[in-house]
Amino acid sequence: MESGSWHVEKRSSLRNDSFTGEDNVPETGCLSIVVLGASGDLAKKKTFPALFHLFVQGFLQSNEVHIFGYARSKISDDDLRNRLRGYLVQGKTTDSEQLEEVSKFLQLIKYVSGSYDSAEGFQKLDKEISEHEISRNSIEGSSRRLFYFALPPSVYPSVCKMIKHYCMNKSDLGGWTRIVVEKPFGKDLASAEKLSSQIGELFDEPQIYRIDHYLGKELVQNLLVLRFANRFFLPLWNRDNIANVQIVFREDFGTDGRGGYFDEYGIIRDIIQNHLLQVLCLVAMEKPISLKPEHIRDEKVKVLQSVLPIKDEEVVLGQYEGYRDDPTVPDHSNTPTFATMVLRIHNERWEGVPFIMKAGKALSSRKAEIRVQFKDVPGDIFRCKKQGRNEFVIRLQPSEAMYMKLTVKKPGLEMSTVQSELDLSYRQRYQGVTIPEAYERLILDTIRGDQQHFVRRDELKAAWEIFTPLLHRIDNGELKSIPYKQGSRGPAEADELLEKAGYVQTHGYIWIPPTL
């Protein structure tokens, strides 16, 4: 949590304001959260800290929840707790209340050691969970069991089998068993469908939560409200007014020791096919008939099914100089660390509007944003085109903000124009409000049974159908990655592609986040 934001208002018990989702049955039994892969980086850096923040805010109550860590490492309960402690406390804090909360949270964690394909380990895990449920006087079948896969996808099928055979609720009295699986969901359409089938044979779709943490980001969650709760956006949000849309992800560092893992996937599989495509769906979808998860996900699938095949001439790939110096990366790797591409949506609202997807590592800055550029003003009497077009920008990270770039009169006696902005910067507008981490929000959604911000199976299939042909051409060496310098904007060819797609660069204007 951010400094100064430790003292938070405690929420009421989770069970008072949430439902199982499937049948709107109020939750009754105790809650067991199992973090599989508990000793790994993802669990330590994201999953356990998110659970801790939910605990601090009162969403997880110590009298109804217990957390189990499961992994192959032969360690004790205290060993795991000590490993996690440093990830829950920011710096060397002396705040006694914070340290007390950390200690209370760590006491909720129990560790079970076992392999991911052995009956013995999962039988032992089930025994520990059942003992916790009995100690809480939970009626058999009324308890809730959430399994979080902080694991590589290669072990998903075996872990799912073990859970299905040994760790499910014994009957159904309002309780449930749910699984949360992390990306990557396969490497192409065939592998994703195979993985979906293996999991789908064991669990029903309402039990499966495919997590994409971008859908938990505050500004991404705001997209539906912005689009459908504001009258002035409704008539503008179409091909008649919008020239192009950019969805951008930039990092100012390279693979940093993850070269071997990254080389198997590349920037398109790692970022564009999932995170940025999910954002595109929310920008481009039609208004759902309600906020029910299935109605929202239906509209997202329609967008994906309307995307035309990607043309090779509308793709620029790059690889930063020095990437292959990593000993875990093959000497002749063609894996892109940068990609810019144009997606085109073939429907009434978006025909002819390029959606430019851009992602890269080792670039000049770190940011993620959505940039909606509007068409030129017809009959421009001020002759201010050279200053740039109107743009609506949603900054996802860092410094969450949304601002509208517009042309105004420059102060003074002369009638001259300049670009400025209408700005909503979260840090300034919402002082003292802690924006929750994406994982906090999404884990809470899984407990509540709300699948709105998770990827449905047909949605996943439609996403892979868009990118698989392109990825196979890259894997076969038909499209080459262009070298670019670390700390640059990426290959110059990417800027040329943006220009061809109709994006007009603004010169002489820089948005500066307001300071308090």
**φ and ψ at residue 398, rounded to 5 degrees:** -75, 180
Q: Residue-wise over 267-303: b if at least 16 C-beta within 10 A, else e? A: bbbbbbbbbbbbbbbbbbbeebeeeebeebbbbbbbb
DSSP E strands in 212-258: the ranges are: 242-250
In this prediction, residue 514 carries a pLDDT of: 67
Sign of the C-alpha dihedral, residues 343, 262, 195, 173?
negative
Nearest to 300 by CA among 447, 146, 454, 82: 454
* Type of residue at 508: G
pLDDT at 9 over 70: no
In this prediction, residue 15 carries a pLDDT of: 43
Query: How far is the C-alpha of 490 from the C-alpha of 175, rounded, in Å?
Result: 51
- Sorted by where each begins, the domain ranges of the chain are 31-182, 215-435+456-501
C-beta neighbour count of 416 within 10 angstroms: 12
CA 321 to each of CA 196, 244, 313, 327, 494: distance values in angstroms, whole numbers, following the listed order:
37, 30, 23, 14, 16
In this prediction, residue 16 carries a pLDDT of: 39
pLDDT at 23 over 90: no
Give mean pLDDT, residues 503-511: 75
Give mean pLDDT, residues 435-461: 88
Nearest to 33 by CA among 58, 6, 49, 51: 51
pLDDT at 430 over 90: no
Confidence band, pLDDT 50/70/90 cuts, at residue 427: low
What CATH number should be reported for the domain whose range is 31-182? Answer: 3.40.50.720
Query: How far is the C-alpha of 504 from the C-alpha of 388, rounded, in Å?
Result: 7
Give mean pLDDT, residues 81-107: 81
Give burial (CB, 10 Å; 0-12/13-18/19+) of 84. Answer: buried
In this prediction, residue 94 carries a pLDDT of: 58
Confidence band, pLDDT 50/70/90 cuts, at residue 467: very high
Give mean pLDDT, residues 472-490: 94
On average, the pLDDT of the chain sits at 86
Range from 20-34, 52-66, 248-262 carrying the lowest mean pLDDT: 20-34
Give burial (CB, 10 Å; 0-12/13-18/19+) of 231. Answer: exposed
Residue-wise pLDDT tens digits, 346-377 = 999 999 999 999 999 999 999 999 999 999 88
Give burial (CB, 10 Å; 0-12/13-18/19+) of 227. Answer: middle
Give mean pLDDT, residues 258-265: 86
pLDDT at 325 over 80: yes
* Residues making up the chain, counted from first to last: 516
Give mean pLDDT, residues 450-472: 93
Query: How far is the C-alpha of 5 from the C-alpha of 436, rounded, in Å?
Result: 11
pLDDT at 60 over 70: yes
C-beta neighbour count of 31 within 10 angstroms: 24
C-beta neighbour count of 36 within 10 angstroms: 28
Nearest to 263 by CA among 162, 195, 214, 331: 331
Give mean pLDDT, residues 412-427: 71
Residue of higher predicted confidence among 418 and 165: 165
C-beta neighbour count of 23 within 10 angstroms: 11
What class is the 215-435+456-501 domain?
alpha beta
* Residue 224 DSSP SS3: helix
Tokens describing residue 76: 């004790």
Residue of higher predicted confidence among 135 and 431: 135
Largest CA distance in the chain: 82
In this prediction, residue 399 carries a pLDDT of: 79
Give mean pLDDT, residues 101-105: 90
Confidence band, pLDDT 50/70/90 cuts, at residue 126: very high
In this prediction, residue 12 carries a pLDDT of: 44
In this prediction, residue 311 carries a pLDDT of: 95
H-state helical runs in 112-242 = 119-135, 156-166, 189-200, 218-221, 223-228
Tokens describing residue 490: 């990426």
User: Do the beta carbons of residue 473 and residue 309 sit within 8 Å?
Assistant: no
Which residues partner with 342 through β-bridges? 356
CA 34 to each of CA 2, 56, 487: distance values in angstroms, whole numbers, following the listed order:
27, 19, 41
For a pLDDT cut of 70, what percent of the chain falls above it? 88
User: Do the beta carbons of residue 167 and residue 122 sit within 8 Å?
Assistant: yes
For a pLDDT cut of 90, what percent of the chain falls above it? 52
DSSP per residue, 395-435:
EEESS-EEEEEEEEEPSSSS--EEEEEEEEEHHHHTTTPPP
How many Å separate Cα 21 from the centre of its chain? 21
In this prediction, residue 7 carries a pLDDT of: 41
Angle at 120 between CA 117 and CA 126, to 5 degrees: 100
Pairing type for strands 144-149 and 31-36 reads parallel
Sign of the C-alpha dihedral, residues 501, 401, 270, 460?
negative
Query: How far is the C-alpha of 258 from the C-alpha of 270, rounded, in Å?
Result: 12
In this prediction, residue 462 carries a pLDDT of: 95
Catalytic residues: 275
CA 43 to each of CA 79, 174, 247, 291, 356: distance values in angstroms, whole numbers, following the listed order:
15, 28, 28, 31, 33
Pairing type for strands 242-250 and 367-374 reads antiparallel
